């Protein structure tokens, strides 16, 4: 049976660090730390994107982690109407590489549109330490 943890974060810069701490704690609790750096970087990028492009003032975004066998699913849902860019940034752009980084680090990446907002999700195949499920 899959395990899942979810937390909402306010629209503030400090929430990106709080999202990383949340991910670190959950993955440590689940003993899935072999891809921890990649997953923490992805939550930073996805949470930052939610703040910059997806969370209207006064609203929150939600981070969900699900462990299903060896797979960790990280999902960041916002409530904004800003679409996900279809094109990668130009080589000389100063920003816009968050989804590119997430796509490179994760085993899979997807975007689910909702009537209000969207969810950007990434998956990672992980391994538990010997003697743990």
Residue 35 belongs to domain with CATH number: 3.30.565.10
How many domains, in total, are found in the chain? 1
Q: Per-10-residue mean pLDDT for the chain, 133 residues long? A: 96 96 98 96 96 88 97 96 67 68 95 94 87 54
Answer yes or no: is 109 within a domain: yes
Predicted structure pTM score:
0.90
Q: Is residue 132 part of a domain?
A: no
Q: Where is 49: in which H helix or E strand?
A: helix 36-49
- Tell me whether residue 106 is in a domain: yes
Residue 133 domain-assigned (yes or no): no
Is residue 116, in this structure, part of any structural domain at all? yes
| Dihedral angle sign, alpha carbons of residues 123, 109, 57, 40 | positive
pLDDT at 91: 65
Q: Decide if 131 is inside a domain.
A: no
**Backbone dihedral angles phi then psi of residue 11, each to the nearest 5 degrees:** -80, 85
pLDDT of 85 reads 63
Pick from 25, 60, 29, 45: which is nearest to 103 by CA?
Answer: 45
Q: How many other CB atoms sit within 10 Å of the CB of residue 102? A: 24
Range of the domain at 112: 3-125
- The answer to the question of residue 34 being in a domain is yes
The pLDDT of residue 87? 60
Residue 76 in domain? yes
Q: Answer for the pair 66, 3: CB distance below 8 angstroms, yes or no.
A: yes
């Amino acid at each position: 049976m899959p395990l899942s943890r979810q937390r909402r974060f306010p629209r503030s810069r400090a929430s990106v660090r709080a999202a990383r701490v949340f991910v670190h704690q959950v993955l440590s609790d689940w003993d899935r730390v072999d891809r921890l750096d990649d997953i923490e970087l992805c939550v930073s990028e996805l949470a930052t994107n939610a703040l910059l492009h997806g969370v209207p003032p006064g609203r929150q975004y939600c981070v969900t982690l699900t462990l299903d066998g060896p797979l960790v699913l990280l999902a960041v849902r916002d409530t904004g109407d800003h679409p996900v860019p279809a094109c990668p940034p130009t080589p000389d752009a100063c920003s816009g590489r968050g989804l590119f980084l997430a796509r490179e680090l994760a085993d899979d990446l997807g975007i689910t549109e909702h009537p209000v907002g969207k969810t950007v999700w990434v998956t990672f195949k992980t391994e538990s330490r010997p003697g743990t499920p």
